[in-house]
Amino acid sequence: MKFNPDLVTIAGNWKMNGHIDTSVDVEKLINLINGDDANIILFPPYTLISQFVHISKNSILSIGGQDCHHKDSGAFTGSISAPMLHDAGADFVIIGHSEVRALHGKGSGNIMNKTQSAHENDLITIICVGEDREVRLQGEHYNFISKQLEDSVPRTSNRNNTIIAYEPIWAIGTGNTATTADIKEMHAHINNTLQDFDMFKKGNPSILYGGSVNPKNAGQILSINNVNGVLVGGSSLDHLQFNEIIKSK
């Protein structure tokens, strides 16, 4: 199974964590989740993608990259292209995570170009959107997210190759999860916004919530309307905690 937009999606972003010996934990995770009815994805650092793809070959676990360049190749030292991710066996890629936007600039056109390149190379994209605390305090968060979506989702998108992840920047890695009302209202807004996109006339993409998701709050978050899954950070590094989140769907 590659991706089924009608199932809950549980994705784990490892960020800059993990080494070769971490494969033991991935094998343990696979033994726990096989038979689950969900899209389960891990995003390890680039150095572990090929190994994790090999380990997960006959399981329901999918593997993705944490970012990609918008060009297929060239003099871009330190960058990884969509064709390279595909060549390594990845099926997914995260585009526009707030940490990447902060490090490499916030040019929205670049996010759209990355997403289009990923689609052209048969990768399913998780496009991240999210506001910082200042934008929210100014009451501009809905307009901000609408603009991010308009500037980040290319015409190559459809519900089978695109996932949207709402990650309020003020809740990433801070332990400050958005309230149930915050999540419900923003996910409804995102869902309504996407309904006006021509490429989603046959159905909206899945919308994930990310931001300090853990085993204690995952079940409540996943029960909210228009929340089709979660993008997990630190808790995905521990196979037992990540499995608890998967089981809470």
As a whole number of angstroms, the distance between CA 218 and CA 209 comes to 10
Name the architecture of domain 9-247. Alpha-Beta Barrel (3.20)
Cβ pair 139, 17 in contact under 8 A: no
As a whole number of angstroms, the distance between CA 95 and CA 242 comes to 22
pLDDT at 1: 57
Cβ pair 193, 124 in contact under 8 A: no
Share of the chain above pLDDT 70, in %: 95
pLDDT at 173: 67
What are the extents of the domains in the chain?
A: 9-247
In tens, the pLDDT along 131-179 reads 998 999 999 999 999 999 999 999 999 999 999 999 999 877 676 768 9
Q: How far apart are the first and last CA of the chain?
A: 18
In tens, the pLDDT along 66-111 reads 999 999 999 999 999 999 999 999 999 999 998 888 876 555 568 9
Tokens of residue 98, six digits: 């707030």
Rounded to 10°, the helix 141-152/108-120 angle is: 40
Mean pLDDT of 56-73: 96
Give the predicted TM-score (pTM) of the model.
Answer: 0.95
pLDDT at 142: 98
As a whole number of angstroms, the distance between CA 249 and CA 66 comes to 24
Active-site annotation holder among 86, 167, 189, 239: 167
> How far, CA to CA in Å, does 107 sit from each of 52, 102, 213?
31, 10, 27
Mean pLDDT computed over every residue of the chain = 94
In the residue annotation, 140 being an active-site residue is answered as no
As a whole number of angstroms, the distance between CA 6 and CA 204 comes to 10
Where do runs of H (alpha helix) occur along the chain? 23-33, 49-55, 82-88, 98-104, 108-120, 133-137, 141-152, 180-194, 218-222, 239-247
In the residue annotation, 97 being an active-site residue is answered as yes
The answer, yes or no, to whether residue 31 has pLDDT greater than 70, is: yes
As a whole number of angstroms, the distance between CA 158 and CA 93 comes to 15
Name the DSSP letter for residue 11: E
**Residues in a beta bridge with 129:** 166
Share of the chain above pLDDT 90, in %: 87
| Residues in CB range of 218: below 8 A, 6 or more apart | 230, 232, 244, 245, 248, 249
The answer, yes or no, to whether residue 115 has pLDDT greater than 80, is: yes
pLDDT at 100: 87
Active-site annotation holder among 69, 70, 86, 97: 97
Tokens of residue 129, six digits: 């959107």
